[in-house]
Amino acid sequence: MKVKWIIAMSSVGIAAYILADIFHEVVGHGGTCVIIGHKIDLITSVYFKSTPGSFLTDIGGPIANLLFGLLVHTLLKKQKSLSLLSILFLLNLMAYNLCWFSGTILQSGFSKTGDWTYTIKELNIGALGKPVLIIAGVIAYLLSMKIIRVHVNKIGLIFAEVPLRQSVVCSYFAAAITAIVSGLFFKYDRTHAAIEGLLEMLGSLPIIFIIPGIQTKVNNYELRAGPIVTVSVFILFITFCFTLGRGMS
């Protein structure tokens, strides 16, 4: 594998993860909290606390991911002149956002925590709460995979020689490492924050299995990120770690 290709796809994954996380924690949870007049106590790359708590604030994160994912889906449908690197970035960004939305529903369905737990309690439907969340989460995942597959097939037709599976896998692991490393910056609970970051990215794991592995050699296609892009993503990563990674209150 070419080093330049690895750097390019790693940059894509890092940037996509950071933006998806910002939309979940800052725009979703934080924005909702401010809108309803509550106080933000803590916001990190994996945690959010407010006073008082609210189910609206809880679901604000995944709803923001859903809306942003659908927005990127629309942009990808209408794009006609974007570069391959930009398209792959948008593909990963859309996939992470849609999968995070679906994953949070399933998390609440199978555990006592998660963004939808408080919400389902507010509906007061008793024992049906967990099954409803699980069914809704599965449906959300299936619809998300369908949307992602549409764009994967389109990219495969336009850029037939692109090692698409390897590209997405490389970006995914770079994103997962970013989630773990940024969690380690949360000094009050580094281990659990890192684990939470990993769990967030596990929600997007299905995307690496829906992409056909037709092309197996990355040497057949030249793909690189310019120095400005690489440096910008590096600065974004460092800034993210020392702000949301460390936590802000």
Structural domain boundaries, residue 144: 3-245
Query: To the nearest whole percent, how much of the chain has pLDDT over 90?
Result: 65
Distance CA(215)–CA(188), nearest Å, equals 45
In this model, does residue 41 exceed pLDDT 90? yes
Distance CA(98)–CA(24), nearest Å, equals 11
pLDDT in tens, 204-227: 998 888 776 544 444 455 677 888
pLDDT in tens, 122-136: 778 778 888 999 999
- C-alpha torsion 6→8→14→17, nearest 10: -110
**Are the C-beta atoms of residues 105 and 138 closer than 8 Å to each other?**
no
pLDDT in tens, 240-249: 999 999 999 8
Residue for token digits 């449906």?
139
Domain count, the chain: 1
Longest dimension (CA), the chain: 57
Distance CA(180)–CA(70), nearest Å, equals 26
**Are the C-beta atoms of residues 61 and 212 closer than 8 Å to each other?**
no
Which of 61, 65, 100, 57 lies closest to 199 in space, CA to CA? 100
Distance CA(131)–CA(146), nearest Å, equals 23
pLDDT value at position 222? 64
